[in-house]
Amino acid sequence: MKCRKCSETAIINMRQHKLALCQEHFLEWMPEQTQRFIEKYKMFDHADKILVAVSGGKDSLSLWDILRRLGYQADGLYIGLGIEGGIGYSDESRRLSEHFAAEHGLKLNVVEVESTYGATIPELAVISNRGHGKPCSVCGLSKRYIMNRAAHDGDYTVLATGHNLDDEAAVLMQNTLNWAGSYLVRQAPVLEASRPGLARKVKPLCRFYEREMAAYAIVRGIEYIYDECPHAVGSTTIYYKEVLNQMEEKRPGAKLQFYLSFLQAKEQGLFALKAADAELHPCEKCGQPTSAPGECSFCRMWDKVREVKGARLPAEAGLVQIES
Ligand code: Q46
Ligand code: ZN
Ligand code: ZN
């Protein structure tokens, strides 16, 4: 197959766009498209100070790469979760994030959950007794908290994550099958900072397929962690991704259309519900906005860790340390 823009051999064929491109044109096309999405969804501009959440995976490192190529001011945030899983998952993901930052002279903020708060994520899952033996619920809660806090404390105007279209479509499918209205209302390429202390969140890769992100990372020569987090195995998200890929196989563009039609329906007022932000108030301990009475759920979770592990926790557990 030939590249649409020149006569070179194509390295990727994107059937949903009826577009095949050679290496050179694909590497040009990805940042161009990203810039288009940034503008279309009014994500940020060159005056913004962006914090990119990096995990050492293909999506987040490629996002960081694209943003720096487009000339944006983008620092990284790596959150060390303390997940081993027999493959040294967290150590390796930190190493690759640091490697990328060093290679390109970029600033990486690091928050290690264990040294900052006193326990790894798998330990926290056991101690807090949440998530039925799976660390994902305390992990998600902790990551959201730390990202918000780091963006706020570091004076970043926007927090960017590397969610791709496959991620977004899988979550959308799950939320639609459950008719989870409050989640559907909040799922969008941009989530405004509705309260002081909450970061404005953006997903510049939300229209790229996962295979395009993998192709970008590979042809760009980005070293990333191939393994998924060991706790992702058997997750519902992976199941929905497989279902969507089967649909895509039969009907190229099905995934993209599912997601884009949702955004359009939302724009036309299908979900008139407003996100329930009105009830947020500052947490008594850390000051972050929360809907829970008194302390936020993040602080309560770590209070329990302090009870169990005692002296290992710093006294003011709310403070995130950002190392450069
Ligand atoms: S939530 Fe669960 Fe992920 Fe945390 S424990 Fe791993 S799989 S990293 S996106
Ligand atoms: Zn070409
Ligand atoms: Zn709190």
How far is residue 78's CA from residue 82's CA, in Å, rounded to a whole number?
12
* Tens of pLDDT, residues 240-254: 999 999 999 999 999
Cβ contacts of 275 within 8 Å, gap of 6 or more: 182, 185, 186, 194
Q: 33-275+304-316 maps to which CATH number?
A: 3.40.50.620
Q: What is the pLDDT of residue 318?
A: 47
* Tens of pLDDT, residues 77-114: 999 999 999 999 999 999 999 999 999 999 999 999 99
Q: Is 149 touching ligand 1 by the criterion CB < 6 Å? A: no
For 228-258, letters b (16+ CB in 10 Å) and e give ebebeeeeeeeebbeebbebbeeebebbbeb
Helix (H) / strand (E) containing 191:
strand 190-191
In the chain, the largest separation of any two C-alpha atoms, in whole Å, equals 66
Q: Whose CA is nearest to atom 1 of ligand 1?
A: 136
How far is residue 76's CA from residue 49's CA, in Å, rounded to a whole number?
11
* Higher pLDDT among residues 183 and 218, named by residue: 218
From 24, 18, 29, select the one nearest 6 (Cα to Cα): 24
Phi, psi of 280 (to 5 degrees): -75, 145
- The reported pTM is 0.92
Domain range annotation of the chain: 33-275+304-316
* Tens of pLDDT, residues 248-296: 999 999 999 999 999 999 999 887 655 555 578 899 999 998 888 899 9
Strands 289-290 and 281-282 turn out to be: antiparallel
Q: Which of 58, 141, 229, 238 to mutate to test the pocket of ligand 1 (most atoms within 8 A of CB)?
A: 229
Q: What is the pLDDT of residue 324?
A: 46
Q: How remote is the CA of residue 231 from the centroid of ligand 1, in Å?
A: 6
- Pair 223, 54: CB distance under 8 Å: no
How far is residue 82's CA from residue 137's CA, in Å, rounded to a whole number?
15
- Give the 3-state secondary structure of 48-59: CEEEEEECCCHH
Q: Is 136 touching ligand 1 by the criterion CB < 6 Å? A: yes
- C-alpha 107 chain-centroid distance: 18
How far is residue 298's CA from residue 144's CA, in Å, rounded to a whole number?
10
Name the band, by pLDDT with cuts 50, 70 and 90, for residue 134. confident
Q: What is the pLDDT of residue 314?
A: 53
pLDDT at 206 over 70: yes
310: left (phi over 0), alpha (psi -120 to 50) or beta: left
Residues having C-beta closer than 5 Å to ion ligand 3 = 283, 285-286, 296, 299
**Radius of gyration (C-alpha) of the chain in whole angstroms:** 20
